[in-house]
Amino acid sequence: PAPAPPADPSALRPLDGLADDRDALDPGSRVILVVEDDLPFARILRDLVHELGFKCVVTTTADDGVLAARRYLPHAVILDMGLPDHSGMTVLDRMKRDVATRHIPVHVVSANDYVETAMSYGAAAFMLKPVKREELASALDRLETRLSQPMRRILIVEDDPAQRLGLGELLATKDVETVGVASAAEALARLGAETFDCMVLDMTLPDASGLDLLEQLDADEGASFPPVIVYTARDLTADEELRLRRYSKSIIIKGAKSPERLIDEVTLFLHQVVSDLPERQQRLLAASLNRDALLDGRRILVVEDDVRNVFAITSIFEPHGAAVQIARNGREALQALDRVESEGASSIDLVLMDVMMPEMDGLTATREIRARPAWRGLPVIMLTAKAMADDQEECLAAGANDYLAKPLDVDKLLSLARVWMPR
């Protein structure tokens, strides 16, 4: 018999023990993608999606979730965080950095509280397991409302008339209406009477600070409180930034690159389809996505004895503005971290740790790192030679935050680094 053709790496794996609708979709189908490896819970989600009149596609791994989002362009995604191959946060990161899928609302479901991180990556909602059926039905009902109301509304709170006008022109499209106000009092009046999908807020207003406005909104149950993007020329103190983070999904300091960041954040939170944006907004968005604010200026320790892998990893991260430091085994990695502590050398933000190395392997080195109080919060991503389930468990048991099997996939590696990079 003729040899079987090689497996298509872009092919979605068939599901064992759970039927979905992937083979019964037509161009008019309204689809929800469920990314969940707990099959009994996936079955509950599928049945609920059917009850609400949607078709359902189910995948059980992060990689298949990304593939299915690109292939089926669903109306929404219900995403678990604890997946067998990578954290679900990498699915969210990769979807939101892909112009074809970034508009799709993602409802995160997790046994752990990642709410702030998930929302900052553009998740539409966050639900902690165990999730009540009514909670899921309510989230999908809100999606239904969104689908039936294509017009989005942005409230711009800015006291400078020229800036207010400029922001309105920058952000408005045929599907986005902007409303400008010059004071905190006007903003409160508008939010008490109308609904907005997003608010762009300057910190310096004539009658109150932006922070005062947010604290009043938080206390006022009658006013709508949309996602907030702080857009200010003023440098913030550490205390102000900490207080702002309670209310704001994003803080942008005005400067040469800030319009790009603003378009990136607004289109993300409004779930706008990139191909529908005006050409100027598409250009600004492309520039923002090509720059990598989370990696720029960060220091990554690569612990790897194979020169080819060292070269490959360096060539992946350096174009994104990250500095790469090399250690050839676990012992050298611990020495490099010691130097940071004792000599005040440049701090290390993230460790990429190979498992198989001479002198001290990656598992031993990771256990040593976790045994030191000063390094307990240092993110460690393990690089394994084979993608076996017990390998992953061993890496996580040793104290790694996540793991990636070789050969390294550039898209996945960058995504994991962004997800685990300290903020």
- Average pLDDT of 52-76? 93
Closest CA to 298 of 413, 418, 409, 410: 418
What is the distance, to the nearest Å, from the Cα of residue 49 to the centroid of all Cα atoms in its chain? 24
Which residue has tokens 């999904």?
A: 249
Do 230 and 343 fall into the same domain?
no
Do 65 and 115 fall into the same domain?
yes
Do 26 and 136 fall into the same domain?
yes
Identify whether 15 is part of a domain: no
Cis ω for the linkage preceding 27 (within 30 of 0): no
Q: Which domain-ending residue is among 290, 307, 342?
A: 290
* Reported confidence tier of residue 270, pLDDT bands at 50, 70, 90: confident
Do 59 and 89 fall into the same domain?
yes
What long-range pairs does 236-239 form, CB within 8 A, spacing at least 24?
A: 236/203
Return the DSSP state at 84. S
Counting the structural domains of the chain, the total is: 3
Instruction: Give how far Cα 78 sits from Cα of 48, 127, 211, 367, 417, Å.
Output: 12, 10, 33, 34, 23
Q: Which domain-ending residue is among 290, 320, 335?
A: 290
**pLDDT tens track for 82-102:** 888 888 889 999 999 898 999
Residue 238's pLDDT is what? 80
Q: Is 8 left (phi over 0), alpha (psi -120 to 50) or beta?
A: beta
DSSP state string for 255-281:
STTHHHHHHHHHHHHTT--GGGS-HHH
Share of the chain above pLDDT 70, in %: 94
Do 193 and 92 fall into the same domain?
no
Per-range mean pLDDT, top range of 123-137, 321-335, 394-408: 321-335
CATH number at residue 338: 3.40.50.2300
Share of the chain above pLDDT 90, in %: 37
**pLDDT tens track for 224-263:** 788 888 888 877 788 888 888 777 767 776 666 688 888 8
Instruction: Give how far Cα 237 sits from Cα of 202, 215, 302, Å.
Output: 15, 17, 33
Identify whether 305 is part of a domain: yes
* Number of continuous H segments (helices) and E segments (strands) in the chain: 16, 15
Rounded CA separation 108/102 (Å): 15
Q: Does the pLDDT at position 405 exceed 50?
A: yes
Q: Does the pLDDT at position 5 exceed 50?
A: no
Between 15 and 200, residue with greater pLDDT: 200
Rounded CA separation 367/78 (Å): 34
The residue type of 85 is D
Do 78 and 166 fall into the same domain?
no
Rounded CA separation 252/258 (Å): 7
